[in-house]
Each structure stands twice: as C-alpha cells, then as structure tokens.
C-alpha cells in the first residue's frame, strides 16, 4: 500500500480453513489459535489444518477473535449445495498514521526474512524465466507457458512430480496428467518434469492399470479408467520424439507397458479385456464407467458406454504400435504384437465405420449394436500418431465433427440434434452431471481437433490461417473470462459458451499449447522414430 499523505490503517483478515468442498461453521475450539511473535502471526485452527503465517513491517496486531456469521454463497445455492457459512477472524492489524508504504506477507511456511520488494522482484524474475523459456516474444505463447507452470507440482507421497488436473477441486488424475504431459512438459522443454511424472504413474501401475486418480488425503489410488493406461503409451512415445531417451523408457516404463498389454489382452479389473475374435478392447459394465465420459449421480449412469468405445480402441491400436516399436528396440522382436495391431486396424474399420453418416460410431454395445450418437471421441482416431483410416475417411470424420460439434471454445460432447442434448451446464448436481457429457463443450478437445484439421488439409496455408483463427477465442478467454491467465475445464454447449467447471484446467491449457506450437507454428520434434 503506497500513499503520499499520512493515513491510519486497520486490516482484519478473515479465514475459512476448510476443504474446497466443505463449509465452515462457528466453533469455539479455534478462537485462541493465534500465536504472535516479532511481527509475525502463526495461525493453525485445527490440528490437521495447514499453518498460515502473516508478517508485517508496521503496526501492532491486536488479538480480537470474531465470527462473521451466515455468509450467503450464491454459487453454492445455484448448485444445490449448502449455501451458508461462517468465517473467522483472530484479530486486527492496527497501523497508526504513517506515510510511505506498508507490507503484509501471507505464507504457509515460517517467514524467516522479510524483504517484500526483494520477494516481488524474485517472483517477477521467476515468471519471466518461465514466459521466456522458449525465447519467443509471442504474447499468447508467453501466457500459455505461465498457465502451464501452475499445474506442475510435487507429490509429497512419492517425492516426484505430478500434474494437478484442475483448480480448485481436482487432484492428480492419470488420464488428465498423461494427456496434458506433452503440452505442459515436452513442447515447453521441461523434460526432467516429464520423466518424473511418468515415473510417478509407472510406479503405481496395478493389475495392468495406470491409476485413475490419487486420493486427496493420502497415498491410495483408484484405478477405474480404461484409457489412462493407453495414454501412458502415447506419452512415452512423445517423450522419445522430444528427447530420444530410450534408456529412460527401457529402465522405468517398459516393464509397466508390458504389464498393461498383457492385462488388456487377457483381462483385468472393470471388465477390461480384449475380444479374441476381433482384437478390440471392451470395458466397463452398466454400473462402472471407465471412459472419460464417466458422469454418475445417485446411481444414474448418464453416458453408459460399456462395451467397445471408439477412442479406447484407437488408443489400443496406437499402444500396440508403440509397444511393438519399443519391443523391437529392447528385445529384438515384435512379431506377435505387430500382427495383433494389424488385426485391430482391420477390425476397427469394420466395426466402427458409420457408412450412413460418414463418421465413426461412438461405441459398440455389449450386444454388438453400434451407438450412433455423434460425439467427439472419434477425433482421436485421426489425431493420434498412428491413424486407422484412409485419408478420405479421416477428412469425412473431421468435416462431420467440424460441422456438428465444433464451437469457438472446443468441441461439444454431443451433437445438438440429439434428443439428450443439454445446452447449459448449471443447476444442482443432477442437472450438472446430466449435462457434463451431453452437449457441454470441452476445451481440451480443441487440441486433437486442430491437429486433425491441419492433417487432413495437408497443413496448407489456408488451413493454418483458419486454425489460427480457431484459437483466437481462447486468447480472449485467457485475459478476460473465467480465471484470468488460465483456461476453464468446460463451457456451455449453447451460446455464449459461458465458462464452467474448474476455472483452470490442465488439459485445456496443455492441448492448446501443444497444438499451437506443434501444428499451428509447425515446431514439431525433429526426432523420427
């Protein structure tokens, strides 16, 4: 705070100290939880709560415990959640009339030295080092690099790096982390972070499955995902493209890959297994959702996709192709896996091609019936490293997705002409989960779409110009909507596509950054595998 005339200042901080899903209510047990020593306050209202430290360079802190009662939370009311809470204040910082400046510092660690200007300069330099790490003055690139850095964290339970899927309420999810890894760490040159993240998930593989998510409060992980294990292969392949670090893959990832392939071929948890007749992967059952479209509320499975999902089998084919490359490199043979990959490619076209709509079915039900709801999952069949369709079919898929699912902020999760389409993500939990994958726009899907769009148009100048125009709404979103400096998880399917869900989502940032650098700017990795 700077001023030219003398002023008196009173600062009363208010605290909640709660989980982001919870509410705080008055409790006499926390009213004497402050310790003050040498212009530093330590606050820890509960034994398991994080400590908070406040330090100041002027004035005196007067203890005066008060509760601010019955605060109304509009957003919680809109979501059908408890909408009242109390916050706590342990006292007030009183500063007698002064001129010049006063500084306050909040930290979750003890503040041993107090030089606010130096701290500010150090943080500004840290941010500048991140923004300029690719030696570019491009403002979009600089902003995306800063946004990307916010999701890379250290997991204390493993001592290694991980990726927070989204703020404020997601932890590190396997699927989200592995989809995000190329954009957050490889195109940005953070190769050591990429290796550490891959080691984190490799070490947690069980029954041939990569962890779907780690618990917020401990080391336990859940494994209810079929595609996280397959994205693991794609991330490893991208690591080789950028680093040529075959030794790392052999020493830390290949054993896990072998376990995944064997488990998928012979069957593992959540009814995940290869159909021996066609080589395709079937997964899930009516009660367990294992694809990324996994909304379930009060026993209602909103998007039942148990059976053979299109993106899962596109990933399965890519995983087999990648595993064959690694197997040939490390073991000198890959005949069985190569033959299986060929079988999968033939079966994929036979099973998923929708001749009537010239696109791909979303999934094949367990009774063999194809589901022809138009969804964006088919775009992965054209964006992944190893394609499954010929050029004309790929173009047809991209054209179909563009005309019926594309929006200014990503792809709709369901076409607007479907009877189950929901255009707004709002209301209580049942209404929101009912719309989550039923028309809601997902920002991260702009990445595979732009990659596919440029691919089928042979990266022509016209297509590159159109792709550049496609990302302009995200430039506005970064600076004027939602969480400034980041990209939201989802957007309403209907205009004006208001941002919803997590206000900062890792794969939304990562996929925009990846496709911007690799596809629009044309800075692809130089290593050819």
Give residue for tokens 């709560």. 49
pLDDT at 71: 97
Q: What is the pLDDT of residue 451?
A: 99
Identify the pLDDT of residue 364: 98
Each domain of the chain, given as residue ranges in start order, spans 2-114, 270-391, 405-522
Give the mean model confidence (pLDDT) for residues 427-432: 94
Do strands 353-354 and 359-360 pair parallel, antiparallel, or not at all (unpaired)?
A: antiparallel
CA distance linking residue 440 with residue 492, whole number of Å: 5
pLDDT in the model for residue 102: 86
By the 8 A CB rule, do 492 and 435 touch?
no
Please tell me the predicted confidence (pLDDT) of residue 19: 85
Q: What is the mean pLDDT of the chain?
A: 94
Integer Cα distance of 260 and 447 in angstroms: 26
Mean pLDDT of 250-265: 98
State pLDDT tens for residues 119-135: 999 999 999 999 999 99
What is the distance between the alpha carbons of residues 284 and 307, in angstroms, rounded to a whole number?
7
pLDDT in tens, 367-389: 999 999 999 999 999 999 999 99
Rounded distance between C-alpha atoms, residue 49 and residue 217, angstroms:
12
pLDDT, tens digit (0-9, with 9 covering 90-100), for 480-514: 998 999 999 999 999 999 999 999 999 999 999 99
Task: Give the model confidence (pLDDT) of 464-484 as tens digits.
Answer: 999 999 999 999 999 999 899
Ordered alpha helix ranges (H), 417-496: 429-436, 446-456, 461-470, 472-480
What is the per-residue pLDDT for 216? 64
Q: Is the pLDDT of residue 401 over 60?
A: yes
Q: Give the pLDDT score at 522.
A: 94
Q: What average pLDDT does the segment 441-448 reach? A: 99
Task: Look at residue 219 in the predicted model and tell me its pLDDT.
Answer: 60
Q: Which band of pLDDT confidence, cut at 50, 70 and 90, is reported for residue 2?
A: low
- What pLDDT is attached to residue 6? 85
* Model-wide pTM > 0.85: yes
Q: At what angle do helices 461-470 and 472-480 cross, to 10 degrees?
A: 20
Q: How does pLDDT run across 59-110, given as a tens digit for each residue?
A: 999 989 899 999 999 999 999 999 999 999 999 999 998 888 889 999 999 9
**Distance (Å, rounded) from C-alpha 373 to C-alpha 359?**
11
Mean pLDDT of 107-117: 89
Lowest mean pLDDT among 49-58, 250-259, 353-362: 49-58
Does the pLDDT of residue 405 top 90, yes or no? yes
pLDDT above 90 as % of the chain: 82
Task: Check whether 33 has a pLDDT greater than 80.
Answer: no
Q: How far is residue 112's CA from residue 42's CA, in Å, rounded to a whole number?
A: 13
Task: Supply 429's token pair.
Answer: 């939990």
What is the percent of the chain with per-residue pLDDT over 70, rounded to a whole number? 98
150-164, 351-365, 439-453, range with the lowest pLDDT: 150-164
Interior angle at CA 370, CA 365 and CA 373, nearest 5: 105
Q: Note the pLDDT tens digit of each residue in 21-31.
A: 899 999 867 76
């Amino acid at each position: 705070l700077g001023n030219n005339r003398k002023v008196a200042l009173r600062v009363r901080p208010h605290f909640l100290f709660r989980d982001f899903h919870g509410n705080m209510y008055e409790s006499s047990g926390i009213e004497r939880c402050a310790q003050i020593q040498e212009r530093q306050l330590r606050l820890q209202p509960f034994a398991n709560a994080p400590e908070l430290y406040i330090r100041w360079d002027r004035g005196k802190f007067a203890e005066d415990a008060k509760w601010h009662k019955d605060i109304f939370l509009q957003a919680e009311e809109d979501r059908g959640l408890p909408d009242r809470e109390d916050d706590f204040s342990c006292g007030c910082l009183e500063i007698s009339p002064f001129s010049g400046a006063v500084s306050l510092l909040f930290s979750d660690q003890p503040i041993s030295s107090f030089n606010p200007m130096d701290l500010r300069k150090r943080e500004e330099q840290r941010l500048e080092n991140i923004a300029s790490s690719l030696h570019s003055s491009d403002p979009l690139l600089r902003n995306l690099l800063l946004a990307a850095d916010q999701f890379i964290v250290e997991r204390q339970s493993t001592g290694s790096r991980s990726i927070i899927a989204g703020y404020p309420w997601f932890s590190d999810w396997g699927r989200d982390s592995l989809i995000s890894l190329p954009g957050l760490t490889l195109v940005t040159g953070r190769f050591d972070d990429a290796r550490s993240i891959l080691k984190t998930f490799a070490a947690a593989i069980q029954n041939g499955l990569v962890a779907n998510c780690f618990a917020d409060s401990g080391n336990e992980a859940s494994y209810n995902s079929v595609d996280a294990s397959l994205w693991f292969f794609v991330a490893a392949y991208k690591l080789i493209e950028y680093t040529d670090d075959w030794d790392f893959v052999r020493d830390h990832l290949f054993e896990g890959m072998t376990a995944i392939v064997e488990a998928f071929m012979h069957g593992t948890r959540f009814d995940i297994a290869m159909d021996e007749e066609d080589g395709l992967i079937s997964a899930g059952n009516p009660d367990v959702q294992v694809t990324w479209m996994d909304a379930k509320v009060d026993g209602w499975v909103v998007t039942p996709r148990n059976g053979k999902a299109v993106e899962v089998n596109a990933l399965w084919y890519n995983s087999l192709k990648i595993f064959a490359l690694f197997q040939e490199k490390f073991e000198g043979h890959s005949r069985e896996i190569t033959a299986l990959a060929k079988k999968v490619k033939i079966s994929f076209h036979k099973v998923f091609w929708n001749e009537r709509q010239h696109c791909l079915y979303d999934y094949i039900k367990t009774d063999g019936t194809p589901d022809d709801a138009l969804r964006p999952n088919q775009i992965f069949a054209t964006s992944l490293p190893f394609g499954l369709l010929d050029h004309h079919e790929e173009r047809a898929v991209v054209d179909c997705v563009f005309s019926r699912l594309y929006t200014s902020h990503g792809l709709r999760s369901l076409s607007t002409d479907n009877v189950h389409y929901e255009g707004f993500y709002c209301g209580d939990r049942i209404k929101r989960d009912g719309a989550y994958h039923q028309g809601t726009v997902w920002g991260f899907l702009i990445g595979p779409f732009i990659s596919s769009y440029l691919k089928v148009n042979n990266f022509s100048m016209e297509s590159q110009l159109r792709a550049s125009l496609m990302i302009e709404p995200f430039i506005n979103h970064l600076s004027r909507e939602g969480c400034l400096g980041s990209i939201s998880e989802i957007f309403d399917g209907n205009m004006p596509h208001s941002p919803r869900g997590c206000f900062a989502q890792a794969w939304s940032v990562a996929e925009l950054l990846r496709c911007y650098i690799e596809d629009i700017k044309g800075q692809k990795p130089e290593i050819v595998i």
